[in-house]
Amino acid sequence: MSALDAIDARELPRSSPAPGLLGLAERGLLPDALIRHGIRRQCAARLATERAGGVAAAEARQQALLAELRASALAIHTAAANEQHYELPPQFFQLCLGKRLKYSCAYYPTGAESLDEAEEAMLALYGERAQLADGQDILELGCGWGSLTLWMAERYPNARICAVSNSTPQRLYIEEQARARGLANVRVLTCDVNRLALPAGAFDRCVSIEMFEHLRNYEMLLARIAGWLRPEGRLFAHVFAHRTHLYPFETRGEDNWMGRHFFTGGLMPAADTFLWFSRDLAVETRWLLPGTHYARTAEHWLARQDAAAGAVRAILAQAYGPDSAALWAQRWRMFFMACAETFGYARGQEWLVAHYRFARAG
């Protein structure tokens, strides 16, 4: 077991505010401007930590972490991550996200798009970059509430789409939507990707949007996906990433609020992280998008949460218990602010979004 695997998410305090200034923020007693200032300071501190000792030291740390990932399980703390986001009632996400319920970065080519338009624009970009076409067999890993799966099912009526996530509410939501829209070409599996078994050579495309950040052993992942793809098949992945630094969201230690409450077992990949795991699938091409796209997305999510504050509180009361609803509403606000500030940091040139298309190696 690696040091990363040893983090015990069960120890995490979930229903009472943190001590100190963070607790004041969690109780809603600090203005947003101050919270955002604190988040930007955390970003600066993170960069200083990652850069400490200069490039040689930073690279040695990165190589050690890559070796740990290679020795790790495919994904860790999957139950905690699932509970933190994905088992919440879909109504919460219907209130905060856009029409497509895309729980990942949207695309703002002019910067003036609405959230709904930006969701559509990113989905269309995936269609081009993943070279999706009608008639394909498409596997989506980490399908969320079906933003891409339902879009593909509508756009490519003769494609057969198999969507996978570890969340039962997500599957029920997609199945209901597919029925309501008359889409018979979608199948949804509820399965932890650690245990996912699929027939060999069954898919033309595998697509995955902001799920790799929940995973660890990319060598194992890419080997399994390579096995599920046909010889000419392609994998398309969208992740958020830091330009150069790879680091885990720890649940202990200083900078751990995100790891503790929202992203246990999660990872901030570096833009080049997957290039180190190219034994079975190799990157054919990569695109980088400035983090400002994610900053806009998260600002839209926050604005929608705030506009529906009463309804959000009622849903969170069901999910976390009536005594914790206010605390969790504020934590979700802080989470959206953290995304907005982190990806907006340095005009989106530090933390960003990366797209990759992989083909069989060799």
Binding site for ligand SAM (CB under 6 A): 75, 78, 81, 86, 102-104, 142-144, 147, 165-167, 170, 192-193, 209-211, 214
Please, which residue, 166 or 305, has the CB nearer to ligand SAM? 166
18 in helix, strand or coil?
coil
Other CB atoms within 10 A of residue 131 CB = 12
Rounded least distance, CB 322 to ligand SAM, Å: 26
CB 236 within 8 A of CB 357: yes
Cβ atoms within 10 Å, residue 121: 16
At 190, give phi and psi (nearest 5°).
-95, 110
User: Measured from the CB atom, is 104 or 305 closer to ligand SAM?
Assistant: 104
- Shortest Cβ distance from residue 147 to ligand SAM (Å)? 4
Of 42 and 170, which has the nearer Cβ to ligand SAM?
170
Q: Measured from the CB atom, is 102 or 160 closer to ligand SAM?
A: 102
Q: How far is the CB of 294 from ligand SAM (least distance, A)?
A: 12
The CB-of-261 to ligand SAM minimum distance in angstroms stands at: 15
Comparison of 166 and 217: residue with beta carbon closer to ligand SAM: 166
| 25 vs 354, beta carbon nearer ligand SAM | 354
> Which residues, including other chains, have CB under 8 Å from residue 195's CB and lie 6 or more apart?
none
Tell me how far apart the alpha carbons of residues 350 and 348 are, in angstroms, rounded to a whole number.
Answer: 6
CB of 360 to ligand SAM, least distance (A): 23
- d(Cα 201, Cα 323) in Å, to the nearest integer? 50
CB nearer to ligand SAM: give 104 or 251: 104
Minimal distance in Å, beta carbon 209 to ligand SAM? 4
Q: Which residue is nearest to ligand SAM (CB)?
A: 144
- Work out whether the CA dihedral 71, 49, 84, 353 comes out positive or negative: negative
- Asked if 106 and 119 count as a contact pair (C-beta separation under 8 A), the reply is yes
Classify the C-alpha dihedral 3-334-85-183 as positive or negative. negative
Burial of 323 (0-12, 13-18, 19+ CB in 10 A): exposed
